[in-house]
Amino acid sequence: MLQSIESPKGLTGNQLKVIAMLSMTLDHLICVIFPNYPMDWWILILHTLGRLAAPIFWFMAAEGYAHTHSLKKYLMRLFVFSIIGHFAYNFAFGIPFVPFKTSCFNQTSVIWVLFLGVGALAVNDSEKLKQWQKTILIFVLAALAFPGDWSSPALLVILSFGENRGYFKKQMIGMIFWISFYSIVFIIFINPVYGLMQMGVALTIPLLKSYNGSRGTFKGMRYFFYWYYPAHLIVCGIIRILLHGSTGVMIGG
């Protein structure tokens, strides 16, 4: 008699990505429908739920780096979609396509930061580079990540996830540590309430803890995400124009 093979308990990488995409879409829709950081309690709750997305993307980027069969192809894919994502992201929120015209914040999408974060992991693991060279290169990559969504701290979170892979507590401490700096900058330069809200990334910890290490049965999920990301942003941009015209709806616009 054949015995059934039980699936690993917990959430697969694909399931985590679906949660992240739903969270991200909710957050972005609220941004374009109710712009410029409104203080209504229910909008704040919805934005807080939107904090679930980024940590999952950072975590899965580090996992993707650990499992990829071709780092070169992985980096190239991230780079290509960071270019596509740039125009979609900036269109969605009314941010000029040419960086730094209006601000040094939120000048391009999170995929740019994912690309640089995976590059930082490769630098950190290189056997050809000396430690001082690694430090300089990672500093440069972090500086390049500064104008992206979630900025330089996101790159350092990806690096922490990769360095401490297999040590979940250290990974989460690293995330909270680095995002606290992002939160402080947000509090000082943008909005105190929304700055504190960035620490809502902690809500993702139980989800990440339940990750069972498997990708899931749908092998096309990574390509689905790459195309879903610009597609949902284009829809957000159309909604923004219909509701508010050409006005930017968040910092950077």
Q: In this structure, are residues 186 and 195 in contact, taking their beta carbons and an 8 Å threshold?
A: yes
Least confident of 49-63, 91-105, 177-191, 213-227: 213-227
CA distance 46 to 164: 31
Query: What whole-number percentage of the chain has pLDDT above 90?
Result: 92
Q: Which helix (H) or strand (E) holds 21?
A: helix 13-33
Q: Which of 8, 10, 6 is nearest to 211 (CA)?
A: 10
- With 70 as the cut, is the pLDDT of residue 7 above it? no
Beta pairing partners, 211: 11
Contact 102, 248 (CB under 8 A): yes
pTM for the predicted model, two decimal places: 0.95
Residue 1 predicted with pLDDT over 70: no
Tens of pLDDT, residue by residue over 179-235, are 999 999 999 999 999 999 999 999 999 999 999 999 888 878 878 999 999 999 999
Residues 6+ apart with CB under 8 A from 200: 48, 49, 51, 52
- Answer yes or no: are the C-beta atoms of 52 and 204 closer than 8 Å: yes
Reading the block at residue 84, the tokens are 């596509």
253: pLDDT confidence band, cut at 50, 70 and 90? Answer: confident
Residue 252 contacts residue 106 (beta carbons within 8 Å): yes
Q: Region 130-154: what's the mean pLDDT?
A: 98
Local confidence band at 3 (pLDDT 50, 70, 90 cut-offs)? very low
pLDDT score of 136: 98
Residues 191, 193, 199: CA angle, nearest 5 degrees: 105
Spatial separation of the C-alpha atoms in residues 19 and 10, rounded to whole Å? 14
- Grade residue 6 by pLDDT with cuts at 50, 70 and 90: low
Q: Is residue 2 over pLDDT 70?
A: no
Residue 166 above 90 pLDDT?
yes
Average pLDDT over residues 104-120: 97
Location of structure tokens 């040590």:
167
Given a cut of 80, is residue 16 above it in pLDDT?
yes
- pLDDT at position 221 is 83
